[in-house]
Amino acid sequence: MTELHWLGAGEAARAIAARQLSPVELMQALLERIGRIDPRLNAFIRLDADAALDAARAAEAELAAGRIRGPLHGVPVGIKDIIDVAGLPTTCHSKILVENVARADAEVVSRLRGAGAIVLGKLSTHEFAIGGPSFDLPFPPARNPWNRDHHPGGSSSGSGAGVAAGFFPLALGTDTGGSVRNPASACGIVGLKPTYGLVSRRGVFPLSYTLDHVGPMTRTVADNALLLNVIAGHDAADPGSAPGPAGSFDHLLDLGIGDLRIGFVRQFHETDLVADPEVAAALEQVARTLAEQGARVRPVALPSLTEFAAVNRIILTSEAWSVHAPWLRERPGDYGQLSRRRLMAGAFVSAGDYVGAQRRRKEMIAAVQDAFRDVDILLCASSMEPASAIEDADATARTYPRQARTLFNVTGHPALAMMSGLSRNGLPLSVQFVGRYFEDATVLRAATAWERASGGPKHPPID
């Protein structure tokens, strides 16, 4: 059997169900690894080791009694610390909420527990999912397992670092401007921002009601589909929730891509934001490989990244200000410098600016929808260069906005980021696949084709 810390969620679940792997054995192996390596990476804000071991023992007892709770029975999962886990603090990585103990599980956590998953603890994030990477917060920022001197992306930073480092096979992140896909890109894992409304946000601290998504983060595409199977579904208590299509998200993974039409949005990395040559070369390799597998690849043009980013910024900062205004007036010094500066911008956005951005958003949605008349999948860049050094604030400020992710928060289409290769200095490069509304399964299908052609997931040299 593969080393336990590199077991995928599906592999672990099947081995546990077949009584070939003990949930306690798996949990102990992961806790040992976390204890040995996480002091260098800071993926966890709070490791709930005793409760996780107790849950693993309970899962083992249920197996002995012939009961399996669901498709993730005994499988560990990490939770980004803006998502509520009953009895644990939801701090949002901030002094503002450092004593904020959740009274109930978020809907996504409840679904995970119902499927048999075991919560390992709460994971590092950028403060309130917007301010980071920062060194002036109650907890240190997470670091990249491929090179701890570099950032792991954000804001779901601990989720990306922990999955990549082999601390857990599954994690939940959130994505308002790319915060699932940025760490997936930086850490070389698979991160999906599902169709807007497909996954409940109840029990998740909001950043922008219009743009917020919860998404699965895994090492493989199959595990991403497995996790989405569990967390997706309508939640009448979430006003943004939408009834999705019936069925699972893994039923297309083995079909290949011979009948798919793929639109390659070269403009994003060639003219809108000129990418690092290694990023561009890797994207071309992905396109060639998918064409060799039978997909029909053709160029597609969309509105500029600059305009998408402006619309995202106006909506995000306006809605975030509505959430944070009372604390920013009463406790501004309790925020980190980055998040305070970014959140304060919302105070200076007019109602007319906000309405205008929402109006332009509708037009941008129509432009992307129009592109999907002629293609089934969009292929484009995610990050325009590998992760910068975490302590080089100028480089991070320059490179963080150089990405093609925020537009799909504006439009709400499902978008997945994953590794496209490694740079000369050993850092992950990335690619993004995007699909029609509620065709998340087709996005996962295209990603599977690339994953298999590229030789499967790669592990960082962290041991």
Ordered by where they begin, the domains of the chain are 8-453 (3.90.1300.10)
Distance CA 94, CA 79 (A): 16
Active site residue 155: yes
pLDDT reading at 245 higher than 80: no
Residue 282 predicted with pLDDT over 80: yes
Give bridge partners of residue 432 from the DSSP assignment: 380, 417
Q: How far apart are CA 225 and CA 17, in angstroms?
A: 19
Does 57 have pLDDT greater than 90?
Answer: yes
Give the strand order in the sheet containing 377-380. Answer: 44-47, 118-123, 76-80, 170-175, 213-218, 190-193, 415-422, 428-435, 377-380, 261-264, 296-299
Q: What is the pLDDT of residues 61-112, one digit of tens each?
A: 999 999 999 999 999 999 999 999 999 999 999 999 999 999 999 999 999 9
Q: Which of the four pLDDT bands, split at 50, 70 and 90, describes residue 138?
A: very high
Q: Determine the Cα–Cα distance for residues 445 and 433; give it in Å rounded to an integer.
A: 10
Residue 252 has pLDDT above 90, yes or no: yes
Give the per-residue pLDDT at 244: 77
| Residue of 134, 155, 208, 382 marked active site | 155
- Residue range 141-161: mean pLDDT, rounded: 98
Report pLDDT for 263: 98
Q: Is 80 tagged catalytic?
A: yes
430 prior amide bond cis, ω within 30: no
Q: Which of 80, 95, 122, 193 is catalytic?
A: 80
Catalytic (active site) residue 458: no
Nearest to 379 by CA among 305, 270, 290: 290
Q: How far apart are CA 79 and CA 460, in angstroms?
A: 21
Please compute Rg for the chain using Cα positions.
Answer: 20
Q: What is the pLDDT of residue 243?
A: 87
Of the chain, the percentage scoring pLDDT greater than 90 comes to: 98
Is residue 441 pLDDT above 90, yes or no? yes
Pick the catalytic residue from 94, 157, 179, 388.
179
pLDDT given for residue 81 in this prediction: 98
Cα 87 to chain center, whole Å?
Answer: 24
Question: Residue 243: how many CB atoms within 10 A of its CB?
Answer: 11
